[in-house]
């Protein structure tokens, strides 16, 4: 992989994103896909996916189980499914490897292959080029974007979910493990949309409320015509500023669009919001990138 130039870094600061083709090799991508295949093969369906609805109370318990499963996934490897792929007994209606939406949120910490990729010398070198002094990894996800059912991701800013004081300290690394095309749901961005702050936040709800998280503020109506698609080849990396507006469409094609993504925070002179859904734990303080 060619070294990143100052010109490219300048472009990142202007646009809020940067496309780096061929950042990882085909072999590195395949090692991640093979590893995820093994993880899925051993997967147990989470208990909250198995309840049969009968009373309101049991539905609430299931919703609570589902939200606890999500809220406590920051330091674990957990499974999240597309809608409608499991029956009420938790049996798969389609092959299980085709049913998963994503796996999160600590692959970077607990899986040797993903840990190695996250802390690879090229990622570290890129972090240094970007001037990161004390970068820590806050979370990671493997995203499947399944053929035909891989749901759309509506326009959002990552800092809505990962809030820091001050803003501007969150950076996403998004790795295409297969070609990402307009047909199978590549990312779309509004260039330059990272300079106006954030308009809403997802925060932990007060204990005892019916939901685990709630949104504060409102999502502006984005102008569709401002988004530009960023198709990228297998092995390519997209750097994503924490406040840039981006989205992806439904995957209506017959090919999946696997990606591995992780978020890094510059920890120097930064405070992580206590209201974020994701919190470091005694078992897993945010690990240093280098």
Rounded-to-5 percentages of helix, strand, coil across the chain? 25, 25, 50
- Give the pLDDT confidence of 248-287 residue by residue, as tens digits: 999 999 999 999 999 999 999 999 999 999 999 999 999 9
Sketch out the chain's domains with CATH numbers: 6-272 (2.60.120.620)
| pTM given for the model | 0.96
Cα–Cα nearest to 113, from 3, 2, 239, 24: 24
pLDDT band at 2 (very low <50, low <70, confident <90, very high): low
Q: Name 267's Cβ contacts closer than 8 Å, sequence gap at least 6.
A: 134, 135, 136, 169, 286
**pLDDT at residue number 32:** 98
* Mean pLDDT for the chain overall: 94
Phi and psi torsions of 12, nearest 5°: -60, -45
Cα–Cα nearest to 227, from 251, 250, 244, 252: 244
For the cut 80, the answer to whether the pLDDT of residue 209 exceeds it is no
The mean pLDDT of 190-213, rounded to a whole number, is 89
**pLDDT at residue number 191:** 98
Running DSSP on this structure, what letter comes out for residue 98? G
The mean pLDDT of 163-173, rounded to a whole number, is 98
As a whole number of angstroms, the distance between CA 35 and CA 56 comes to 40
């Amino acid at each position: 992989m060619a070294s990143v130039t100052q010109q490219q870094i300048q472009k990142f600061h202007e646009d809020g994103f940067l496309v780096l083709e061929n950042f990882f090799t085909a072999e590195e991508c395949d090692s991640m896909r093979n590893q995820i295949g093994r993880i899925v093969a051993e997967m147990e369906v989470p208990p909250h996916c198995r309840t049969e609805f009968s009373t309101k109370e049991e539905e609430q318990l299931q919703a609570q189980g589902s939200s606890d499963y999500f809220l406590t996934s920051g330091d674990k490897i957990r499974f999240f499914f597309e809608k409608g792929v499991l029956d009420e007994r938790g049996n798969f209606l389609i092959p299980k490897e085709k049913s998963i939406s994503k796996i999160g949120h600590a692959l970077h910490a607990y899986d040797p292959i993903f840990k190695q990729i996250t802390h690879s010398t090229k990622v570290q070198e890129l972090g240094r080029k970007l001037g990161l002094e004390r970068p820590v990894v806050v979370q990671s996800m493997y995203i499947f974007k399944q053929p035909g059912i891989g749901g759309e991701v509506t326009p959002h800013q990552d800092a809505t979910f990962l809030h820091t004081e001050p803003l501007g300290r969150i950076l996403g690394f998004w790795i295409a493990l297969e070609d990402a095309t307009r047909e199978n749901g590549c990312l779309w961005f509004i260039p330059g949309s990272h300079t106006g702050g954030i308009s809403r936040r997802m925060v932990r709800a007060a204990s005892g409320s019916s939901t685990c998280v709630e949104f504060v503020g409102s999502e502006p109506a984005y102008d569709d015509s401002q988004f530009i698609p960023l198709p990228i080849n297998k092995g390519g990396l997209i750097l994503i500023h924490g406040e840039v507006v981006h989205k992806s469409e439904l995957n209506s094609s017959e090919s999946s669009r696997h990606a591995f993504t992780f978020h890094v925070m510059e920890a120097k002179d930064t405070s992580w919001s206590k209201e974020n859904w994701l919190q470091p734990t005694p078992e897993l303080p945010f690990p240093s990138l280098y």
